[in-house]
Amino acid sequence: AQRVTQPEKLLSVFKGAPVELKCNYSYSGSPELFWYVQYSRQRLQLLLRHISRESIKGFTADLNKGETSFHLKKPFAQEEDSAMYYCALRRGGGATNKLIFGTGTLLAVQP
């Protein structure tokens, strides 16, 4: 079965400090991995996906198949990064490719 694990419920850092939000997954096939973000009182929105290999708002995430991880990183945290972050997995292709979410990590960036 597919599973996404985010070990930290809360991550508190100071502004300017590096951030790493951990995500591990279990899936035997080739997954698609995503990071979603939910700012206070806003809807869930896509932050980035592994296949795009992009940097959004200074965040990057690399898929490590050997460690089955997809950690989200940012070198210098900003206060506006404070939000709930969800890692999600989707089976590649097919009509049943639904998103499986991790439990989420609340990132709090202190001034």
Partner 1 sequence: GAVVSQHPSWVICKSGTSVKIECRSLDFQATTMFWYRQFPKQSLMLMATSNEGSKATYEQGVEKDKFLINHASLTLSTLTVTSAHPEDSSFYICSARGTSGDTYNEQFFGPGTRLTVL
The residues of the shown chain that bind partner 1, judged by CB under 8 A, are 9, 42-46, 86, 96-104
Residues 6+ apart with CB under 8 A from 79: 15, 109, 110, 111
Nearer to partner 1, 31 or 102 (CB): 102
> Would you tell me how many other CB atoms lie within 10 Å of the CB of residue 84?
15
For the bound state, the minimum distance from the C-beta of residue 45 to partner 1, rounded and expressed in Å, comes to: 7
For the bound state, the minimum distance from the C-beta of residue 8 to partner 1, rounded and expressed in Å, comes to: 13
Nearer to partner 1, 13 or 100 (CB): 100
For the bound state, the minimum distance from the C-beta of residue 38 to partner 1, rounded and expressed in Å, comes to: 9
What is residue 8's three-state secondary structure? coil
Nearer to partner 1, 43 or 66 (CB): 43
Q: Per the structure block, which two tokens stand in for 54?
A: 């992009």
Identify the helix (H) or strand (E) that includes residue 34. Answer: strand 31-38
